[in-house]
Structures are given as C-alpha cells and as structure tokens.
C-alpha cells in the first residue's frame, strides 16, 4: 500500500518539477512586477497577462512574478543586468521608479540603462488626499507648519512631494515614513495618524482629493488646485515639475535593453491589438482602471529628459527632496 | 437578514459547492507540500477565477486559503517539517508525539482544533461585521508596537532548557531578519551588494531550511520517523479528537488569540501561533497527565492549530474593512476583489454585503470539509511514520527543492536554503532553540517598523492607551512569575563540552561584525541592528562565562536530548544531496534536480542491499 502511494507521489513530484519549468520555457511570457502581490500594478499585470497571449503568436501563456524591493528599483536593476532574462520577460514598474533609477545612475557617474519601452496603459496626475472628515479644506492648508504627511520610504513619491514643498517653501512639514505600502499609509490617514497622503488610493470613498501635481500653469477641469504652482521658488518649481512628468504614466511595461528590438516590437503590436479588444477593456475597467495609454515613443521622450540631465541639476534636485 | 438569505442561496448553488470542493482539495495538497502555501495557491487559482462569477471565484479562493493551515499539519506532525510557516509551532509537540507512535492521535487533535478554530474565526468575522471599520481604525502604530513587544514575552516558552541560548537564538533570528533595505531610510543593510537580498530573506525558505533539514538528518540517522516499533502506530484519531474536545478552554483561548491578532495587519501567523502556544505553556507549566511541552504535549498542538485557522477569519477584517491586507495572501485576495469589480472598504458592507457574508459561509464550509477529509485520512497518513528513511528522504527533499524555489524563483532561494540548512543543523546539534530563532526573525522587523512609526506619530498621552497599560501589566506579571519560578526551581545546568564554544565564538564574531559594519549608516537604519547585536554579544558572554564555570565544576551527566545527536559525517549527507540537486536544478533543469536526489538515494539503497547480501 505504502509502496503504491510512494510511486504515485514520486510521479507527482516529477510532474511538479516539470511545472516549475515554465520559468525556463520559451512559449511562456513572464511579467515581472516590481511591487508586492495584490497592489495596483500587480493587479493590472494579472489582467494583462490573461489577455495578451490572445494577441501574440509567440506565447501560449503569460505568468506574473513579483520582485518587490526599494520601490521598484530592485527590479529595475535586475532588468538592466547582463544576466537579465531578456527575450521572454516583460517588466512592470511605475515611471517614477524607472526615472529615479536613471537619476541615481547619473549621480553615480554611470550611464543609465535604456529600457525598451512597450507601453503604459494608465496615466494620471498624482495628487494629495485628506480624510473626508478632515478639517483641512484647501490646498494652502496642507502647506502649513506642523501638517503631517504619510509615506512609505524616502525614495517614494509619497515622500518626495512633501519633501520638495518642505525645502522649497521652507516649511516645518512632518513627513512620517516607514509604512509598508499605499494601503497602510491610507489606513494611517483614516485613523488620524497623519493629515495628508500623496499617493494613489485604492478606494476614494472616505477620502477627499485636495490638489494635484500638474505641469506649471496647468489647470484641471475638476477645478482642483495645481500643487506644483504652489512651490515657492522658480527653480524649485521647475525641478518639482520634473517629478510630475515622471509620475504621470503608471504601470509602465518594458523589456530589458538586452532584448531584441523585434521582440519588443512584437509586444508593442500585441498591446496595440489588446487595447482594442472589448473583453480586455471590460476586465480592465471592472478592476477599477481607466484605460489611458502612453505610447513607447512618448515614454522614450519622457525618459530622455532624465537621461539627458546634468549631474549638477540632479544634485540640486536631490538636495530639494532630501 | 436579506443579505444573509441571498448569500445562503448563492453559496448553496451546486456550481459554487463544486468550486469550493476544488478549492479545498487544492488547499489540502498545497498545505502538505513544504515551502509553498496560500500565496502560491492563490497565484495559481487567481487566473482561473477571472472567468467565474464573484461567488464561484471566492468559493474557489476561500476554499483553498482557509484550509492550507489544516493540511500543513500533516508534514509537521509526521516528519517534523512545517508544510507552511503556520505549522512551525505544531512541529514542537506534534512531531515528538508521532515519534512516540501517537501520530494518528496528534492528527486527530489537530484537525478537530483546526475545525473549531476555523469556525470560531468565521463567527468572529460575522459578529464584527458592523464594527469592522471602527475596530481597525482604532488601532494605532503604538498598539501594533505593543503587540509585537508582547511577542517577546513568550521567548522563555520557546527557549528550551537554557534561557541564555534562547536569547541568543532570538537575537540571531532578529539579526538575520534585518538583512535587506531598512524600512525608514531605504539603506542597504548586510546585503553584500546582492540584489536578491534587498527585500530581505524569504521567510518560507528560511523556516523550511532551519526546521526541515535537521529533522531529515534526524530521520536519516534513526532509520524511520517513529522511535517506537511499527505496531504502536495506533493512538487513535478519535482519541485525538476527544483530547481536543476535552481541552475546549484551550481551543477557545487560542481561537480568540488567533482571530484578534489575525485582525491586526502584519502580525503574521508565526507570532499568533507562538503567542497561543506560549499562553498554554505558561498555564500548564506543571502537569502530571501529559508530557512536558516540547516533548509531545497534546495542548501544544491544539493551541496553534486552533489559533492559525481562526486567524483566517480575523485577517479578513482589515482586508474587507479598509482594504488593508494583513498578509501577502490577503493582498492577493484583495486583488481578486478588484478584478471582480469590488473595492474593499465601506461598500463591502453595503452594496457588496451578500458577497462579504458568502465569505463567512465559505470559510466555515471549507473548514468542515477539510477536517472531515483529513480525519478520514489520518490513520493512513500515520503509516508514513513507519516508512523507511530510504523512501521519506528523497521524496521530502524533492518537495523542499521545488517548494523553496517558489519563494521568488531565483537561485538565491536555493542558496538561502543551503545556507540556512547548515545553520539549522548547527543549532540542532548544539541545542539552540530554533523556535526562538523563528520568533526573532518575525518579531525583529515588526518591532523596528512600529517603533519608528510610533516615534514619529505618538504623543505622550498615548502612553495611557489601554494596549500600553495592558502590556506593562503583563510584563510585571511575567517578570514576577519568572523570579518566583527561578527561586523555586533553581538554575538548571546542562551537561556541556568544549565544542559548545564553537557556536559561541562564531555567533559573537558575527554580532561584532554587524555592530561594526553598520556604523556608516544613518542612525534610523542602524539603531535596531546595533542594539540587537549588543544584546547578542552580552548574552554570548554570559553563556561563555557559564560554560567555563560548568567545565570547571561539571554538573551530573544528563542524557543528551537525542542520543543520535553526535557529530558525524553522516549528518552532512542530506545537505550534501541538497547542494548537488541545486547544482543540477540550475545547471540542467528542475527535473534533473529531482532526478539527482532520486538517483543518489537509489544508489545508496542498492549499495546497502549489496552490503547486507554479502553479510548474509
């Protein structure tokens, strides 16, 4: 009896081992997401992974793997390494992480990697939020001494926006860091531990948007104030605007610079087909996203702005946010 | 009431029941395979659930998630290998029971405890529905800090015979957990420049290595799992079930701990299990009818098993209430809600209320189904304890090899497995508490994170919060009890030998390295690692002094905990095979890795047959 089951289990083990093999297989496209499972980027990648194989002949299946760490910088570094899984792997990161990595490289005298951009399916101006019952009602009120902001780490956009306000406007803003993610930061906002959070929320039911970060002089049809315009100093405002543009496209999909251009082109074509597919649009919108794609060319143009920055400008930028 | 009725009708549809059964069966299989747990299962099932309606999707997902902590008991009890991180505590008393020939009894007690705990968790979730948001939002960072600190109070319960060694193991676990980027400044700590280490070491791989490999070595040296003859396998599962029901206050207390702490995001199943275990161990410190805790006390199984199943209901509370997932598996479940067009938060209690209630039904039904299946199988499963190591070792090693690679699918997972297998073996050999190590590994980062957050957000008035007052009350009771017991029992002395200095020297050197290498970091990043390193050095010095004293004045010789724990080259067979299979796994492919293990053990079996044939 025991021998019978032993043989059965041994057989199952070989099948299980073979099931690990998709990571090594050519007909499977791997989506590596730079954040934890269940986050907004992860969910978007999972919805895309379900539909993309229907629009590309090369792959039968797409699987999602999470590689969190340092707000996405870990995955960015992995994607740029010569050992990166180039041909059958696409990476998902917020543009903010990609450009921050480029800035770090330039600051350290290293030529930044050139990701092969595929597309970004969602774009939005980042904003700041307060709890629905908060006494704060205007954008000016979040720029007063003693107001506390919640953020994850010091490399996150949630930290950098208030930090740039603090330096440029010479304010005593209190930025609380160390929360594990957007959900935990918004929970701290709701329970009154912090006053403001500048991150994208999952659910806006008990929140109020107090302003957004747009290009200098930009006005929004919602009537909300453009927070960039409230940065006091001209140079600081210009530098803050850079963050605005880097944060606009979210869920950026790219391949390693070691991947072939043909492979990247095939994925771009597949994405272009997929975003016309009503089944995909329905699933994507059901998950709470608004489809608003940014093309690979546009992403290249945005990235170029960072890759072309001088070390002196970057130093001023870093000084502003640190 | 209308929502309750709607949910009941939806849940009882044949299609949903079928998906629930599929989910439960998947959860049972996943829980039994060491190294993979609910996260792996959810990742597999999530794409399948896309095409289903929300009720069917959650029948599948909750069915799987609710029962992995039921099935993980099987390898924990039978082989001493935690199926998931939630079964580490069960190993401590469950495996000794299996070795004594009471595997079926241990499994019976575990399943009934899991069942009642799971139902309790579902009931707590149901009862707290109207209060979900206020409860979760009432908790501040300082409260989470206090809960994490309270976890340290149980270190004496998991230290084994030497508290000093327990402290050393605890601090070693904390130091290892500090590897990675610090939570406040994002500075690299002890990563050696390896990207793999930026996000810290994967908990599932570390625990699998530290707990499973020494057990496999022990099985190899003994020849089979059970220490007693095959005929004493009995210890009926019904006797175990009766044990569980007789200890209903233990189940009630542990389930309450499981569901309450489960509702606190980030606290994690390991802490919950140790707290439940520690509470019972302190309550039943002197007991005539049962063996001591750690040597096969049935309450040592009942407490963690009821707590970790009750946790599932509790951990849904913050996920549903404010979309704050308490664990990685809850994060994926949160993703499932969004994919099905539901955003966790207030709407889960209004327009999506029937779906929320259906989750409670699914948890309850999944627990009943899983307990029934497992109870039915427990007598057959118990036979594994009498199987030869020639069968057990290759199968388990292959499962560990595959399971550990699921953590991040990086060769780093396997290197971590090998490194911590050696550490686990050293701890086992020199009798350092591995449970205390696991407690430190989980609590260290929690305390650090909430300490920094509390320092930034708490005010002086917060020191009067009920959680803080309760904590200091408990602390006083613990210290008073500790002093009283210390006076009553005197200081226990263990037999010692000069080889005990080897781990001490290595450990103190490692702590000194941590202390020195952190100096260049900002104070926020180095504060905790340096404090822990200092405490580690101090406890190492205390232990060294005691060791020197005991060498000068040897205590009466006491039998070693396991006579087989003598240094021998045979101890390195299992880690050696593991290393070889890792090389094959990454050099040739996953199937070759598994085949390598099978080939080595097949050759070994043939060699032994040839030798015994010649002897005859």
B contacts of A13 (beta carbons < 8 Å): 395, 398-399, 402, 594
Helix axes A40-51, A278-286, angle to 10 degrees: 160
Closest Cβ opposite residue B323 in set A10, A18, A203: A203
pLDDT at B563: 45
Q: What is the pLDDT of residue B15?
A: 92
Given a contact cutoff of 8 angstroms between Cβ atoms, the answer to whether B293 and B281 are in contact is: yes
A20–B345 C-beta distance less than 8 A: no
Q: How far apart are CA A96 and CA A158, in angstroms?
A: 11
The answer to whether position B258 is within a domain reads yes
Structural domain includes residue B31: yes
Does B576 lie in the same domain as B499? no
Lowest model confidence (mean pLDDT) among A220-224, A226-230, B297-301: A220-224
Bigger pLDDT: A73 vs A86: A73
Higher pLDDT, B427 or A246: B427
* Per-residue model confidence (pLDDT) at position B233: 46
Q: Which of A1-5, B80-84, B399-403 has the lowest mean pLDDT?
A: A1-5
Considering only CB atoms, which chain B residues are within 8 Å of A18? 590-591
Which chain B residue is nearest to residue A153, measuring alpha carbons? B184
Is the CB of A36 less than 8 angstroms away from the CB of B591? no
Selecting from 3.40.190.10, 3.40.50.10190, 3.40.50.1460, 3.40.50.10480, what CATH number does the domain A127-245 have? 3.40.190.10
Average pLDDT of chain B is: 84
Q: What is the mean pLDDT of residues B279-286?
A: 78
The pLDDT of residue B225: 63
Average pLDDT of A272-276?
A: 95
A89: helix, strand or coil: strand
Instruction: Report the distance separating Cα B227 and Cα B69, nearest Å.
Output: 26
Is residue B395 within 8 A of residue A13, CB to CB? The reply is yes
User: Is A178 in the B-facing interface, judged by CB distances under 8 Å?
Assistant: yes
**Which residues are A253's β-sheet partners?**
A92, A119
- B349-354, long-range: CB within 8 Å, 24+ apart, which pairs? B349/B129, B349/B130, B349/B132, B349/B133, B349/B320, B353/B3, B354/B3, B354/B6, B354/B7, B354/B10
CA–CA separation, A262 and B484 (whole Å): 75
Measured CA to CA, the distance from residue B221 to residue B400 in angstroms comes to 19
- Residues A298, B26: Cα–Cα separation, whole Å: 45
- Ranges of each domain in chain A: 28-124+248-321, 127-245
Query: Is B466 domain-assigned?
Result: no
Nearest CA to A194 out of B531, B140, B499, B200 is that of B140
Task: Flag the least confident range among B83-87, B200-204, B229-233, B274-278.
Answer: B229-233
Q: What is the pLDDT of residue B204?
A: 85
pLDDT tens per residue across span B415-439: 999 999 999 999 998 889 998 999 8
Provide the token pair at B330.
């809850």
Helices B38-49/B328-339 angle, 10° precision? 10
- Number of structural domains in chain B: 2
CATH code for residues A28-124+248-321: 3.40.190.150
At B564, is the pLDDT very low, low, confident or very high (cuts 50, 70, 90)? very low
Alpha helices in B208-346 (DSSP H): 213-222, 237-246, 248-262, 268-283, 299-322, 328-339
Does B517 share its domain with B419? yes
**Residue B460 CB partners (closer than 8 Å, separation 6+):** none
B509 and B576 together in one domain: no
Quote the percentage of chain B above a pLDDT of 70. Answer: 92
Let me know whether B542 and B586 are in one domain.
Answer: no
Establish if B583 belongs to a structural domain: yes
Q: Which residues have C-beta within 8 Å of that of residue B99, sequence separation ≥ 6?
A: B225, B226, B227, B228, B296, B385
Hey, do A28-124+248-321 and A127-245 end up sharing a CATH topology, with the first three levels equal? yes
Across the interface, whether the CB atoms of A178 and B341 are under 8 A apart is answered no
A275-296: pLDDT as tens digits: 999 999 998 988 888 898 999 9
Q: Would you state the pLDDT for residue B323? A: 79
Q: Which residue has the higher pLDDT, B223 or B308?
A: B308
Residue A281 in contact with residue A148, Cβ under 8 Å? no
Q: Mutation test of the interface with chain A: which of B54, B134, B325, choosing the one with the most A Cβ atoms within 10 A?
A: B325
Q: Is the pLDDT of residue B388 over 90?
A: no
Same domain, yes or no: B504 and B585:
no
More confident residue, A88 or A17: A88
Q: How confident is the model at residue B566 (pLDDT cuts 50, 70, 90)?
A: low
A216 interfaces chain B, CB cutoff of 8 Å: no
Pick the residue of B182, B409, B445, B597 with the most A CBs within 10 A to test the interface with A by mutation. Answer: B409
Work out how many CB contacts closer than 8 A connect A with B. Answer: 179
How far, rounded to the nearest angstrom, does the alpha carbon of residue B152 sit from its chain's CA centroid? 16
Residues B582 and B444 in one domain: no
B483 domain-assigned: no
Q: Is B475 within a domain?
A: no
For a pLDDT cut of 90, what percent of chain A falls above it?
35
Q: Is B485 within the bounds of a domain?
A: no
| Contacting residues of B for A53, CB less than 8 Å apart | none
Q: Which domain holds residue B266?
A: 2-226+243-456+495-552
In this structure, are B408 and B357 located in the same domain? Answer: yes
Q: How far is A217 from chain B (nearest CA, A)?
A: 33
* Among A46, A178, A187, beta carbon nearest to B449: A178
Best A13, A91, A172 member to test B by mutation, with max B CBs in 10 Å, is: A13
How far apart CA B11 and CA B122 sit, in angstroms, is 15
Determine which of B317, B341, B345 to mutate to test the interface with A (most A C-beta atoms within 10 Å): B345
The confidence band for A6, taking pLDDT boundaries of 50, 70 and 90, is low
Q: Of the ranges B12-16, B148-152, B612-616, which one carries the lowest mean pLDDT score?
A: B612-616
């Amino acid at each position: 009896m025991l021998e019978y089951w032993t043989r059965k289990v041994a057989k199952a083990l070989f099948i299980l081992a073979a099931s690990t093999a998709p990571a090594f297989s050519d007909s499977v496209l791997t989506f590596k997401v730079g954040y934890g499972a269940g986050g907004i980027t992860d969910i978007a990648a999972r919805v895309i992974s379900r539909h993309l194989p229907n629009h590309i002949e090369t792959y039968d299946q797409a699987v999602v793997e999470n590689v969190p760490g340092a707000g996405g910088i870990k995955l960015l570094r992995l994607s740029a390494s010569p050992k990166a899984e180039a041909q059958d792997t696409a990476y998902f990161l917020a543009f903010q992480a990609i450009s921050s990595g480029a800035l770090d490289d330039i600051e350290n005298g290293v030529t930044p990697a050139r990701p092969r951009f595929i597309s970004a399916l969602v774009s939005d101006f980042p904003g700041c939020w307060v709890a629905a019952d908060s006494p704060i009602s205007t954008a000016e009120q979040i720029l007063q001494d003693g107001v506390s902001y919640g953020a994850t780490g010091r490399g996150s956009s949630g930290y950098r926006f208030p930090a740039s306000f603090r330096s440029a406007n010479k304010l005593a803003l209190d930025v609380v860091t160390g929360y594990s993610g957007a959900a935990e930061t918004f929970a701290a906002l709701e329970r009154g531990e912090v006053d403001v959070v500048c991150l994208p929320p999952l659910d806006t039911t008990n929140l109020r948007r107090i302003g957004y970060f747009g290009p200098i002089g930009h006005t929004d049809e919602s009537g909300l104030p453009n927070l960039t315009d409230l940065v006091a100093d001209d140079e600081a405002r210009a530098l803050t605007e850079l963050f605005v543009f880097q944060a606009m496209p979210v869920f950026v999909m790219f391949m390693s610079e070691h991947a072939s251009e043909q492979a990247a082109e095939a994925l771009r074509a597949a994405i272009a087909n997929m975003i016309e597919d009503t089944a995909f649009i329905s699933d994507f919108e059901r998950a709470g996203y608004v489809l608003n794609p940014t093309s690979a060319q546009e992403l290249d143009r945005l990235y170029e702005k960072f890759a072309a920055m001088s070390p002196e400008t970057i130093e001023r930028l870093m000084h502003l946010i640190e | 009431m209308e929502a309750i009725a709607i949910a009941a009708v939806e849940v009882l549809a044949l299609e949903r029941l079928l998906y629930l059964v599929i989910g439960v069966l998947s959860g049972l299989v996943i829980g039994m395979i060491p190294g993979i747990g609910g996260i792996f299962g959810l990742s597999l099932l999530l794409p399948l659930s896309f095409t289903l309606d929300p009720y069917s999707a959650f029948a599948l997902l909750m069915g799987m998630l609710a029962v992995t902590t039921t099935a993980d008991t099987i390898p924990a009890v039978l082989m001493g290998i935690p199926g998931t991180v939630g079964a580490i505590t069960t190993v401590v008393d469950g495996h000794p029971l299996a070795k004594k020939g009471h595997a079926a009894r241990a499994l019976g007690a575990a399943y009934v405890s899991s069942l009642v705990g799971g139902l309790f968790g579902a009931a707590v979730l149901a009862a707290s529905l109207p209060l979900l948001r206020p409860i979760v939002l009432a908790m501040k960072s300082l409260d989470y800090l206090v809960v994490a600190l309270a976890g340290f109070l149980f270190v004496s319960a998991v230290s084994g015979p030497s508290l000093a060694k327990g402290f050393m193991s605890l601090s070693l676990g904390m130091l290892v957990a500090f590897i990675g980027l610090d939570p406040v400044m994002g500075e690299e700590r002890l990563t050696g420049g390896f990207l793999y280490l930026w996000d810290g070491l994967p908990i599932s791989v570390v625990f699998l290595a530290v707990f499973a490999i020494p057990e496999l070595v022990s099985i190899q040296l003994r020849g089979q799992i059970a220490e007693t003859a095959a005929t004493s396998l009995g210890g009926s599962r019904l006797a175990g079930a009766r044990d569980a029901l007789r200890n209903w206050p233990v189940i009630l207390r542990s389930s309450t701990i499981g569901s309450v702490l489960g509702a606190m995001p980030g606290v994690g199943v390991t802490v919950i299990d140790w707290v439940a275990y520690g509470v019972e161990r302190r309550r039943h410190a002197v007991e005539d009818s049962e063996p001591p805790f750690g040597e096969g006390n049935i309450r040592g199984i009942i407490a963690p098993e009821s707590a970790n199943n009750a946790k599932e209901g509790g951990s849904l509370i913050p996920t549903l209430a404010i979309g704050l997932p308490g664990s990685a598996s809850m994060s994926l479940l949160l993703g499932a809600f969004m994919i099905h067009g539901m955003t966790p938060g207030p709407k889960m209690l209004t327009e999506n209320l029937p779906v929320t209630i259906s989750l409670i039904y699914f948890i309850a039904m999944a627990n009943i189904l899983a307990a029934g299946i497992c109870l039915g199988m427990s007598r057959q499963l118990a036979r594994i304890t009498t199987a030869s190591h020639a069968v057990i070792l290759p199968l388990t090693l292959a499962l560990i090899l595959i399971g550990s690679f699921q953590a991040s699918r990086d060769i780093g997972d396997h290197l971590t497995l090998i490194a911590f297998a050696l550490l686990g073996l050293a701890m086992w050999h020199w009798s350092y508490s591995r449970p205390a190590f696991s407690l430190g590994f989980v609590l260290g980062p929690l305390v650090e994170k909430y300490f920094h957050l509390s320092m930034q957000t708490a005010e002086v008035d917060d020191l009067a919060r009920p959680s803080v007052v309760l904590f200091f009350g408990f602390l006083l009771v613990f210290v008073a009890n500790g002093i009283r017991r210390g006076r009553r029992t005197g200081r226990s002395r263990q037999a010692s030998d000069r080889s005990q200095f080897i781990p001490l020297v290595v450990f103190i050197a490692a702590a000194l390295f941590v202390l020195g290498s952190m100096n260049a970091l900002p104070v926020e990043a180095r504060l905790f690692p340096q404090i822990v390193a200092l405490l580690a050095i101090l406890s190492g010095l205390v232990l060294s002094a005691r060791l020197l004293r005991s060498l000068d004045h040897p205590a009466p010789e006491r039998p070693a905990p396991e006579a087989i724990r003598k240094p021998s080259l045979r101890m390195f067979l299992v880690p050696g095979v593991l290393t070889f299979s890792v090389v094959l796994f990454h050099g040739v492919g996953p199937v070759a890795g598994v085949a390598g293990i099978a080939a080595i053990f097949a050759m070994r079996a043939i060699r032994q047959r040839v030798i015994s044939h010649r002897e005859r």
